[in-house]
Structure 1
Amino acid sequence: MTQHLNVAPTPQKLSRYKSYAGLLLLCFAASANAHSGEGVAGGFISGFLHPLSGLDHLLAMVAVGIWGATLGRPLVWALPVAFPMLMVVGGVLGIAQVPLPFVEVGIAASVIVLGLSIASAWRAPMVIAVGIVAVFGVFHGHAHGTELPKTAAPAAYAAGFVISTGLLHLAGIAIGLVKGLPRGGQVLRASGGVIAAAGVWILAGMPGVA
């Protein structure tokens, strides 16, 4: 006897997906670069809002969560843990004014590579996936580490920034749950293509690149 499963989204799921769509629209309404150094004079609130004000960091954080969700356990949690851990390393280098070449290019590249990984449904081995995310984490951390000494309350700013980054990872994981719906995989792959295209746009807009 064949059972027919009801795969129609519930009203609660539809409401949740509308929230996700609103988040994505908010992403594209933000500034294209989160590393201008503007608006970093405050404490916790400034740190929390700063990742949301730049398309590059925001898309990379969400993409880490989406890619981890598509790869499944243990990478669904390993990637969002590896990124902030190495971001701390990059941040320390930035605070210490240790030079790191091509930081902004590396950040744009992170958006492109992560987007393409989602778009191609790349089942990267755990070591490679964690390695990619870790390297990009250093670039993102270094860019923000150079801004940290400019803040009025560096510790509070850093705490707000880390919490905001973690929430963006969780948002990406939540979006990745779409893969369980009919044609969810296609939707996620399309979103990866959009993210990669945004990364190319960010890179093309950098001085001396276009």
Structure 2
Amino acid sequence: MNQKGILIVVSGFSGAGKGTIMKELLKKYDNYALSISATTRGPREGEVDGREYFFKTREEFEKMIAKDELIEYAMYVNNYYGTPKAYVEEQLNAGRDVILEIEIQGALKVKEKFPETLLLFVTPPTAEILKNRLVGRGTETMDVIEQRMKRACEEAEGMEKYDYYVVNDVLEDCVEHVHQIIQAEHSRSYRNIEFAEHIKRDLKGE
């Protein structure tokens, strides 16, 4: 079967371990590509154009919006962030599974535009574990942590719109679980219509 890549959107609560799971997945398997976002914010030290982000001027970014060259975009703290369509399509056509790590609103916009997108929601086993992980990071004040927990309550309202839940308890098991979900998706009947047609013709001796 000639496999085209699958577009996968990963969302989840802050502190659920999305980034760590993606990093491990990419390290362990070579068929995944992490989508690179375009942004109008300036590069931070050590960031390279086309590696961490595609860095754009505001004018360039707004042209991309006008030409419908982005799968989704949003504005955070006066800067645009978005997912360029061309890069994603290039990777999918090369047979690679492309992962976008975005929040719920963006994820649902992507699903609207590309109904075959696979939506994964990452969550820790319990709210207590989520809070402990946020505290354990040691990077945020208790006020910020409380805000993130409040935000998690709001985000949980959209959980049932996702195709699969990924419970991040033991990291290695979780990475393997994500990989198995994606591999199983490749065998879905609607993703293999051409193959089914080929078999039918073959059976008829055409």
- TM class, shorter-chain normalised? under 0.3
Specify the structure having the higher radius of gyration (Cα).
Answer: 2
TM-score under structure 2 normalisation? 0.25
**Structure with higher RCO (Cα < 8 A, 6+ apart):** 1
